[in-house]
Amino acid sequence: MKISFITPRAELQPYIESFWVLASLTGLPATADSIAAPNGCPKLIIPCENAIVSVANGRTQTSRAEQMYFVGNRDSATHIRSSTHRTSFIAIEFRPQGAFQVFGVPMSETSNTLCECDCAFGQWGREMQDRLNNLERLHDKLVCLQEGLTLLLRKHRRQAGIVDYCVSALRTADGRMPIRELEQQTGFSRRYLDRLFRQHVGLSPKVLAEIFRFQRFYRKWAEGLSFDLVKTELYDHYYDQSHFTKEFRRMTGHSPHKFVRDVSNEFGRRLVRQVSVR
């Protein structure tokens, strides 16, 4: 399995967290071992070869090759797998507030869902999918996709200063900033911030903070560190072990002990590790 990162066009960079292509001669593991944990980033997924099966919140969905899908922001784990055939797909992970600024669709309509892009984005989704399917080379598909997103951004781009500030503050604090502090710093009520976040991010500030807090420890796992080695730091982020276990189980589908002992999740480990390095 190989994950290759793409540098987005300069105009798209403020809105894209990561842009990559996965290629595998034998697909993803047949077990529920490959986990896409929440990271606060809505995603555009384009399977090029083979179908991708995802299981989230008890629902199983199949993303077919040569179709384009949008995954809204999730607050719980997704297990993914494929058959053992040659597999490749393109993935664009937007910044938490980035997809709204590109597509102009309220992210509250997409949260915790996976949908075909022609349903989510109408004519643009249909036309982009047809254009990509008419191209054979991966390089040409990547160029075409970025051109289409750039034109869409120029059409829908809008100011999101408050949300940009709040997302940056929560990320910098690894989710440890109380929402009341955001109220004090911005001068806006929690209700108003919730409404803005629902539109721009698809999740409330509180839930996004929980994801950022979890991601700090998920990155440490990806780097090969045992949670036992970061217990002191753990209690700086969570009330107690039970609190950490509850959130970790929601984000991965497993307790920390079972996850470290039984789940290899090489897909998740390599992706998180490579994104962290970048």
Q: pLDDT value at position 260?
A: 74
User: Residue 180 is inside which H or E element, if any?
Assistant: helix 179-186
Could you report the per-residue pLDDT of 225-238, keeping only the tens digit for each?
766 656 667 767 78
Q: pLDDT value at position 151?
A: 95
What's the count of helices (H) and strands (E) in the chain, helices before strands? 12, 10
The pTM of this model reads: 0.91
| Phi, psi torsion values for 272, nearest 5 degrees | -65, -40
pLDDT at 278 over 60: no
Contacts 24+ apart (CB under 8 A), 124-133: 124/148, 124/152, 125/68, 128/68, 129/66, 129/67, 129/68, 132/46, 132/66, 132/68, 133/66
Tokens found for residue 54: 């995802």
For residues 158 and 90, give the distance between their C-alpha atoms in angstroms, rounded to a whole number: 26
Higher pLDDT, 123 or 275: 123
Query: At 277, is the pLDDT very low, low, confident or very high (cuts 50, 70, 90)?
Result: very low
pLDDT at 13 over 50: yes
Higher pLDDT, 89 or 219: 89
Could you report the per-residue pLDDT of 66-97, keeping only the tens digit for each?
999 999 999 999 989 899 999 999 999 999 99
What are the CA-CA distances from residue 184 to residues 175, 209, 222, 231, 270 (Å)? 16, 17, 35, 31, 38
Could you report the per-residue pLDDT of 235-272, keeping only the tens digit for each?
677 877 888 889 888 998 888 878 777 776 667 766 77
Give percent above pLDDT 90 in the chain.
67
Mean pLDDT of the chain: 89
For residues 174 and 177, give the distance between their C-alpha atoms in angstroms, rounded to a whole number: 8
Q: pLDDT value at position 94?
A: 97
Architecture of domain 2-156: Sandwich (2.60)
Could you report the per-residue pLDDT of 106-146, keeping only the tens digit for each?
999 999 999 999 999 999 999 999 999 999 999 999 999 99
One-letter amino acid of 92:
I
Q: pLDDT value at position 254?
A: 85
Q: Specify the DSSP class assigned to residue 104.
A: -
CA dihedral over 112, 116, 120, 125, signed as positive or negative: positive
Q: Please name the residues in contact with 75: beta carbons below 8 A apart, sequence gap of 6 or more.
A: 38, 111, 112, 203, 207, 210, 211, 250
